[in-house]
Amino acid sequence: MPRMRIMKLTRDSRREALEALLGRSPSGYSEYEETVRGIIDDVRARGDKAVFELEEKFDKCILSKDTLRVSPEEIEAAYKELDPEFVEVVRKAAANIRSYHEKQVTQSWITTGEDGTILGQKVTPIAVSGCYVPGGRAVYPSSVLMNVIPAKVAGVERIIIATPPNSEGKAAAGTIVAADIAGADEIYKVGGAQAIAAMAYGTETIPRVDKITGPGNIFVALAKKACFGVTGIDSVAGPSEILVIADSTANPRYVAADLLSQAEHDPMASAILLTDDPKLADAVAEEIDRFIEELPRREIICQSIENYGFIFVGDTINDLIDAANTIASEHLEIMTANPFEVMPRIRNAGAIFLGNYSSEPLGDYFAGPNHILPTNGTARFFSPLGVDAFVKKSSIISYSRDALYSVHRDIELFAENEGLRAHANSIRVRFEDCE
């Protein structure tokens, strides 16, 4: 069983960790791009027929036009399949997620000037959004809520879900129920790159969407990347990751448990502890060993921590903060004596969890903020999925004759300076009677 590596935090060790993490990016898997491109081209050319053949090949199930979409009867059966107590928890989580995202809504606005100028911004929801929900190693109803609810709050007219079926041609009951609770309009039983292609280009049955969101495996990620431009995407997501900043006041058992909460996702998931206390580093490593003996996904956890698990010991809290900002983790927990003093100095993180009782799974399932977050260092320039992902913003410009007259020479000069005489002319012709 691999032991969590404890390393001195130096410029070299930080660079080594960063190189390992960035090496997990979907952009680094070019050997799969040709396969993905072939799937996309096939679906684009043959529509439903290609989807049915690819589903038989990859998901080992037989589908038809009559069974591709989840029926009302299947939705009803899914509720009966789940524990009512779990369904109620999904409803509670949905309410929290909806409440949080309603605070993100932005309105159109207009300003007017006394000189006859009118400027503004028109906010318009996209018409159709597509949400991809994985169905491989595990089923994630939480991801359904995190994708669909912001779109619903934004006012998207039609929200569809694509999720891989099992060999019997059934979608997971948890996915179906979460989709129904969140307000999705349609659920289609299709997975992998073929699902992304179907939503990007449309088929006889599956509608073309304006934007695709949601996590998936490497084939899904590469398909989203390849279809960007034909349709919008949220991001090209990589494996999950967690980073914890902890000092001597932290509980090592809590820290270990939180690190492993992400390591169990995937062999390529990353779990990193940054601490200025060598004793805490040793204690956390010991607790990780104990937990691994108890947890059912120990094989995945061991692969994760062997390849992408690190405990770094720095000299000061400043060193830890600098390293955290360089790594730009998807999830960042701050377990220090004064986490609210550390938080303002964090520039790069997808989601920030403060204190001993703000464990990362709280954000995954229940608190309300979105758990679809930037990975692989993209928290330097990306934000969590939210309402803004499902709206477009159009500028509004209106000038009266007097307002344009007062600035027309400035505009003409600017255009002529750039060598664009037709630009200048489109202003000048409006005042030919004044020459």
Rg (CA), the chain: 25
- What sign does the CA torsion over 369, 377, 265, 248 have? negative
**Torsion angle of C-alpha atoms 295, 296, 302, 308, degrees rounded to 10:** -80
From the candidates 101, 265, 331, 408, give the one annotated as an active-site residue: 331
Q: Specify whether the CB–CB gap between 236 and 27 falls below 8 A.
A: yes
Identify the H or E element spanning 322. helix 317-327
Identify the H or E element spanning 55. helix 48-58
Q: What is the largest CA-CA distance in the chain?
A: 87
One DSSP character per residue, 355-378 reads STT--HHHHHHTSSS------TTG
Q: Which residues pair with 333 in a beta bridge?
A: 244, 353
Q: Which conformational region is residue 271 in: left (phi greater than 0), alpha (psi within -120 to 50 degrees), or beta?
A: beta
Quick check: helix, strand or coil at residue 263? helix
Q: Specify whether the CB–CB gap between 106 and 388 falls below 8 A.
A: yes
Has 331 been annotated as catalytic?
A: yes
What are the backbone angles phi and psi of residue 47, rounded to the nearest 5°?
A: 55, -130
Token readout for 253 is 């058992």
Q: Specify whether the CB–CB gap between 396 and 159 falls below 8 A.
A: no
Has 330 been annotated as catalytic?
A: yes
What residues contact residue 318 under an 8 Å CB cut-off, 6+ apart? none
Place of tokens 């038989």: 56
- What sign does the CA torsion over 242, 248, 250, 252 have? positive
d(CA 325, CA 341): 15
What residues contact residue 140 under an 8 Å CB cut-off, 6+ apart? 133, 134, 174, 175, 215
From the candidates 241, 264, 287, 330, give the one annotated as an active-site residue: 330
Nearest alpha carbon to residue 393 among 107, 101, 102, 103:
107
Q: Where are the alpha helices (DSSP H) in 170-297?
A: 173-182, 192-201, 218-227, 252-263, 278-294
Active site residues: 330-331
